[in-house]
Structure 1
């Protein structure tokens, strides 16, 4: 039987062609207005963060601040550490995030779709997104992958060995079918090239390092309409340099943000710096929120299209 998945439409390209990104906005503001303009952008387009660490103790007194200024949604990392029983540790982390959300109902809401992310924003909550799960927590089983999907996991990291083996190939195809995002954070360049050759949906790098990736890999990421989510940890200027390179090689549709130790001041300072460098509003909106939600939406569309054509 012909492989029907390969006949599925390339919805990433279709969405880009249909104008998913915001239309061009007004010219950048003068220096005296940059801070106020940055605040307004982050208020209207709060960051979808690629990484939030799960607290060890979910007791109310030990909970982290439930929502930081300028943050509208977060991927909560479910990655198991070295030496852990990966599956049990992943399940524990899922339970911890759910406990955290239940303990902070006025600030957080668990979200599984872009519609639920929008609902959380409309209610003044930050959306909590489950994932990514580490590749080791799959145990070489697509059945385990499907079980995580049933538990509302939205992303799985494929950054194990340098070689892209048959299981990784099949896992990418099954993630596409389920609507689970392929996270290529920390993967070797050859692994990224191989995954991008297989996937029919856009990928994510929830903890991306564009400065460590070859030019051709970033260009391939742009062709995939995938998103590299960059941490704001080495200073605003260094982060802006990394984003400039990513924007030049992959395009504005591949920009995203991973995390920041001080989100309120850090994201605002970064946006001020990007405005100083002449970034237009539409690229900043894509960076903070638009691209991450687009990848989730296109993954949902692709999943609905392919589930009708190919069984598990």
Structure 2
């Protein structure tokens, strides 16, 4: 049974500027008063020891970065992406001491570690399944990495765990599923993932699933099937928030985001950015940003150049238009070899010549715009620092994050606001999700929703056979073994694998 606690997360006054009415979940108490350093607050300006003597901008930035609880909003440093849909689970590469040292030097306390599960090929994935298995294998791979580096890494299941990692000098991993088809249209599966430590889920990957529309990837938009969320998709959002699992609407279509905001009773997050600064179709316009802020949510600013700069995006679009067919061909040729696929893509890029990435200041431009539209309480730094070929010039992956703290100092942000952007806002959202879940005073499975996806909600491409009996059937007797046949070609590529390299 969930229990309530006496410490309030935030006062109504602290969010009065960003919402005309106080949302109900702001009234719910914090889940852990004994260990709670305020969250905007994760470390507030008042908690940071001020120097006796005047400090330079560089010294001030270093002081704030050391005090902040910075969470990488979409980790690309240690990806857990497999090449083919049924490959044995193994991380692309293991963490090395150098990797962890770089993250610590950058001031990273935690990372949202995405368990990427691309959509299954074939027309009957809703019936035959498979995505849940792959998600489970990737979760196991994440556990292996964490356990092999226990002195430097930790699994985070709560905001409290993130604070503990900060005190102990560890890097915490907050597991998340990227692609809601991983639950295979099953709320019991969703609850089981929560038990394994999954604390956020991106409702869609770059492809539309059976209950939520996606926006699509770099090469093409996703199919529109539901005009947002289906009724079952709405139940997924409710169940996630009842448990305290963060709803991530990155990759979701605009209609899906609007549907989520209508259903949500706790804050949601997104790693999309702002349309005023770059007109990529996955960007958020001002109305959506204000709606996100009104619900207490946070927009995590992506560091991928395609989302940061219109000129870069136009160059990238021309590249994809010219080489799109070749890129898909490579994806089909190397379904289980992401390293070779990346090598071949880089060979094509080298023939075209480099596309000059935007400067580091473009990230700060996006932060400025988000602050103007949504308010400083709804902005977070930290998405795709590493793992992206198209990072802004000067960011240089995760090693460049100290430069962002200095850029915020130079732009005149206060200590309190910089600490909010460098982790405080994200931790506040996580705490509010936990507090809302505690307020329901429900058990995880005993009070869980039993709502199921109906046949009528399945996409038109997945019709049920006429007169099909929905009850389980005994399998028919096995036929005689056929004569040996030539080996089959490699399985179709994971549709999300190629796009993962191109579209974030």
| TM-score class normalised by the smaller sequence | 0.7 to 0.9
> Which residue of the partner structure matches residue 100 of structure 2?
66
Aligned to 2:159: 114
TM-score normalised by the chain length of structure 2:
0.55
Q: TM-score, normalised by structure 1?
A: 0.86
Residue 127 of structure 2 is aligned to residue 104 of structure 1:
no
Take 1:110 and 1:303, find their aligned partners in 2: how far apart are those partners? 20
Of 105, 118, 124, the match for 1:81: 118
Q: Distance in 1 between matches of 2:91 and 2:149?
A: 11
Pair 1:52–1:176, CA change in 2 (3 A): same
Structure 1 counterpart SS, 2:251? coil
Whether 2:182 is the aligned partner of 1:137: answer: yes
**Cα deviation, residue 58, structure 1:** 4.8
Deviation at residue 72 of structure 1 after TM alignment: 0.5
| Distance across 2 between alignment mates of 1:250 and 1:132 | 27
**Deviation (angstroms), 1:264:** 5.1
Say which is worse superposed, 218-227 or 162-171, in terms of deviation: 162-171
Helix, strand or coil: the match of 2:362?
Answer: helix
Aligned-pair CA distance for 1:177: 0.7
Deviations 1:106-150 (A, max 9, x none): 210111011111111111101111113411111111111111111
Matches within 5 A, 1:49-60: 49-53=72-76, 54-55=79-80, 57-58=90-91
Q: How many residues align?
A: 297
Task: State the partner residue of 2:196.
Answer: 151
Mapped pair 1:91 → 2:105: no
Distance in 2, Cα, partners of 1:194 & 1:114:
27
Distance in 2 between the 1:264 and 1:169 partners? 36
Note the 1:188-267 alignment, pairs <5 A: 188-205=253-270, 207-211=271-275, 212-234=283-305, 235-256=359-380, 257-261=382-386, 262=396, 265-267=399-401
| TM-superposed deviation, 1:222 | 0.8
CA RMSD of aligned residues (A): 2.7
Give the C-alpha shift of residue 210 in structure 1: 2.5
Gaps of 5+ in 2: 1-22, 30-37, 82-89, 122-129, 214-226, 276-282, 306-358, 387-395, 449-504
* Cα offset, 1:10, TM superposition: 1.6
